[in-house]
Amino acid sequence: MNLQIKPILIALRRHKAGTVLIALQIALTLAIVCNALFIIHERLTNLSARSGVDEADVFVIQNQWAADWSTQQVDAQVRADLVALRNLPGVRDAAPSTGYPLQGGGWDNFITMTPDQVKPTTDSAVYIGDEHLLDTLGLRLVAGRNFHPGEVLVMGTQEVVIPPQVIVSQALADRLFPDGSALGKSFYAMSATPSTIIGIVERLHRQGVSSWNKAYAGQSLIWPARPDDARGIYYIVRAKPGQLAAAMREAPKALFAQSRMRIIDPKDGVLDYAQIRHRVFESDRGMAILMGIISVVLLAITAAGIVGLTSFWVGQRRKQIGVRRALGATRNNILHYFLTENLLIGLGGVMVGAVLALGINLWMVTRFEMDRMSLAYVGIGILALLLLGQGAVFAPALRASRVSPVEATRSV
């Protein structure tokens, strides 16, 4: 017996409430799951972002001064601290800085190509460090050179020094000079003083990880200066391979041996990059887990709804199933009937759900500065919901196909 679509549609019109309810449930599930998967993908992309840092061996010390020192006193102490850190057996190099990649927020400047340009060309994260910063972070220089010691300036408290030399990331070089001629060229970073590019590093992540930073991903610069802020400073330390734990234990001791007039938080004052990543991406990780749980729960509820409604319909239609079997319908005909019926409901639900999914994404783009969702997520969601529906309806449909003509035609 050839299965006809028209009888199925007639049957569905007789069960409008259940049909509409399941279709709406599928639509809402599709809309939410598509956007949830998109959010999960974005958050997981953030978690796996490459920083350019030798993360296996690098750690950061947040040092605050407990004395009201002048810039000259701070500078002398910072120099002594760096010598002490670099002389530790487990340390390869150390450098002072105003921030570090994946910090969660930090210094950034708009970039222009001329000093009187009104609209900025782009934005760049700003790092301040001496000639040891590249080696300390483990950055790979792909063009040009590192800073010379004589080029490193002193930057005191609330003082902004714009050195004439600058090292930039490849992403910033490509943004400013797409033809590949960045080396030796100049730009302006919110200053009338030009910065000439003397070196380019392969990759250097920004301090910030917010959605605003995505438009400027990887665009960073380094100015040669020693930050001698009387309020505090970051010491970035690179341990020798396999000696990270020992270096993290010994570094604070070495600093306190130089001067007790400092504050290093025993809990959060010394962090390796595993801890830095865990802290800065904690909200992303939590959001991904939450969206995953919501998606699984919604899919389970939708599947349970389909199973329950189909089982109810099978119970109601036992006599009709028996009549069809008596008229020659095979078990496969009955099975295909319910599978097709569910497919039609599912198609109606996913069409509405696709519109809702795109509408929700558009709302999130305008309200939360999120990226637009690719139609691939909608396509994957539609396929997943239709397959879920077919899988959920299979068991009750199989039970319906096993109803015998004699049992189904008995009087109730």
Do 191 and 256 belong to one domain? yes
Residue 219 lies in a domain: yes
Whole-model pTM? 0.78
Do 114 and 254 belong to one domain? yes
Do 217 and 136 belong to one domain? yes
Do 176 and 295 belong to one domain? no
Q: pLDDT tens digit string along 119-166?
A: 999 999 999 999 999 999 999 999 999 999 999 998 877 777 889 999
Looking at this protein, which amino acid is placed at residue 152? V
Do 71 and 43 belong to one domain? no
Looking at this protein, which amino acid is placed at residue 298? L
Q: pLDDT tens digit string along 363-385?
A: 888 877 677 888 898 999 899 88
Residue 362 lies in domain = 5-47+283-408
Position 204 scores a pLDDT of 96
Do 25 and 75 belong to one domain? no
Sorting pLDDT into bands at 50, 70 and 90, what band is 6?
low
Residue 60 lies in a domain: no
Position 412 scores a pLDDT of 47
Do 207 and 305 belong to one domain? no
Instruction: Pick the last residue of a domain from 192, 225, 260.
Output: 260
Average pLDDT of the segment spanning 55-80? 91
Question: What does the mean pLDDT of the chain come to?
Answer: 87
Q: pLDDT tens digit string along 178-219?
A: 998 999 999 999 888 899 999 999 999 999 888 788 889 999
Residue 57 lies in a domain: no
Q: Give exposure, 293-330, as e/b (b: 16+ Cβ within 10 Å).
A: eebeebbeebbebbbebbbebbeebbeebbebbeeebe
User: Whole-angstrom Cα distance, residue 96 to residue 226?
Assistant: 6
- Is 246 or 405 the better-scoring residue by pLDDT? 246
Q: Which of 69-78, 193-202, 327-336, 350-359 has the lowest mean pLDDT?
A: 327-336
SS3 call for 200? strand
Residue 270 lies in a domain: no
Residue 10 lies in a domain: yes
Do 43 and 77 belong to one domain? no
Residue 52 lies in a domain: no
Q: pLDDT tens digit string along 276-323?
A: 999 998 888 898 999 999 999 999 998 888 888 777 766 666 666 666
With beta carbons less than 8 A apart as the criterion, state whether 147 and 225 touch. no
Do 21 and 95 belong to one domain? no
Do 74 and 43 belong to one domain? no
Instruction: Pick the last residue of a domain from 223, 245, 260.
Output: 260
Residue 53 lies in a domain: no
Q: pLDDT tens digit string along 313-348?
A: 666 666 666 666 666 667 777 777 778 877 888 888
Residue 265 lies in a domain: no
Do 295 and 353 belong to one domain? yes
Which percentage of the chain shows pLDDT scores above 70?
Answer: 89
CA distances to 166, 168, 193 from 198, in Å:
6, 8, 15
Do 359 and 402 belong to one domain? yes
Total structural domains within the chain: 2
Residue 409's closest CA among 313, 330, 319?
319
